[in-house]
């Protein structure tokens, strides 16, 4: 992948929102680690693909990216997700992600949600 960090993040969300999970390997390193509230860290591209295909509560929806900051080895973005759960419940969640980038792919992703936790 030769995209810069901002293009990488936009492309990643486009693939996720369109359900093109076969394309995740274009955006994530084979040994990716994804940390997300409510789940144990996902380790490796196979675990990430399984999460999106079978474990994620989201049935469909779209990310509205409100901002992206990117450097060659790190990036961050924030925005809002709106969609439906697998039980047809409406979802509306603000989020922020931070990324470690390596060789033009996401090596580590950490998602944060805007809700009380502690």
pLDDT in tens, 91-117: 999 999 999 999 999 999 999 999 876
What pLDDT does residue 3 have? 66
* CATH code of 30's domain: 3.10.450.50
Task: Count CA atoms within 13 Å of residue 43 on its CB side.
Answer: 2
Range 84-93 average pLDDT: 97
What pLDDT does residue 118 have? 65
62 located within any domain: yes
118 located within any domain: no
Range 74-79 average pLDDT: 98
Number of domains in the chain: 1
What pLDDT does residue 67 have? 98
What pLDDT does residue 116 have? 78
> Which residues fall within 8 angstroms of residue 16, CB to CB, at 6 or more apart?
24, 52, 63
């Amino acid at each position: 992948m030769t995209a810069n960090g901002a293009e990488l993040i936009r492309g990643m969300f486009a693939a996720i929102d369109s359900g093109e999970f076969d394309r995740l390997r274009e955006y994530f390193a084979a040994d990716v680690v994804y940390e997300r509230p409510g789940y144990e860290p996902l380790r490796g591209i196979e675990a990430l693909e399984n999460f999106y295909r079978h474990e994620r509560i989201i049935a469909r929806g779209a990310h509205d990216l409100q901002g992206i900051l990117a450097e060659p080895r790190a990036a961050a973005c924030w925005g809002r997700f709106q969609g439906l759960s697998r039980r047809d419940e409406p979802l509306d969640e603000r989020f922020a992600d931070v990324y470690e980038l390596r060789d033009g792919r996401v090596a580590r992703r950490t998602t944060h949600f805007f809700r009380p936790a502690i």
